[in-house]
Chain A
Amino acid sequence: GDSVTQMEGPVTLSEEAFLTINCTYTATGYPSLFWYVQYPGEGLQLLLKATKADDKGSNKGFEATYRKETTSFHLEKGSVQVSDSAVYFCALSVLNSGGSNYKLTFGKGTLLTVNP
């Protein structure tokens, strides 16, 4: 079945440090890939996405490139801020077996804490 594996946290960085959160996937079809962010006590917000190989998603300084050859979608940011502290979820979306709907499969989430 479809699955997403992302690096387990927690990850603790100092402000302005470089961030990488690894994400790899397995999928029977040709998935779209997403990163969602969840701030404390809130729901999920779409951070970025990529729908085909070699696409780069970017938003708010975060980037991730869809690598089909390595089945990866690693999240990066060159200089993190305290306000980036949150849980980050990698996810993939494929059509369900009936072909009628898309289904999201999430990784377990990575808690990022950025200290001033």
Chain B
Amino acid sequence: GAVVSQHPSWVICKSGTSVKIECRSLDFQATTMFWYRQFPKQSLMLMATSNEGSKATYEQGVEKDKFLINHASLTLSTLTVTSAHPEDSSFYICSARRQGIETQYFGPGTRLLVL
């Protein structure tokens, strides 16, 4: 159990377009989902925390108008990178946890390349 999927696994887009990444918990209800960004050969940087049905909490320095997060159901959260630019190219990873359980389960990641 505790499987998290992401879609798409990789995406290439033109500068100025918006990209939506989906994160789904397949076999459990995720009251909280997290979005991370990972640069090459570096650790994960937490971008935001989202609780189902409420607004996401963004980490300091993360632009909430650029990285739109929606957690509309207990099994789905989406990250939309608006007006993407080449500097937004990165590996985006989501994770999910059950209510009352602190362990986070991670998705396989989405590689974004903005041309």
A residues neighboring B (CB under 8 Å):
32, 34, 36, 41-46, 49, 89, 93, 100-104, 106-109, 111
Contact = CB atoms under 8 A, between A and B. Distances in A.
A45 B106 CA distance: 7
A106 B49 contact: no
B40 to A, nearest CB: 11
Given A32-B102, A102-B102, A43 B42 contact: no
Interface string B72-115: 00000000000000000000010101000011111111000000
Interface of B: 4, 6, 32, 34, 41-44, 46, 49, 51, 57, 93, 95, 97, 102-109
Contacts of B44: 44, 89, 106
B109 A103 contact: no
Contact of B51 (A46, A89, A101, A106): A101
Given A43-B6, A43-B107, A101-B32, A108 B43 contact: yes
A-B CB proximity, top 3 nearest: A44-B106, A102-B102, A43-B108
Contacts of A109: 41-43
A43 B97 contact: no
Contact of B105 (A42, A46, A103, A111): A46
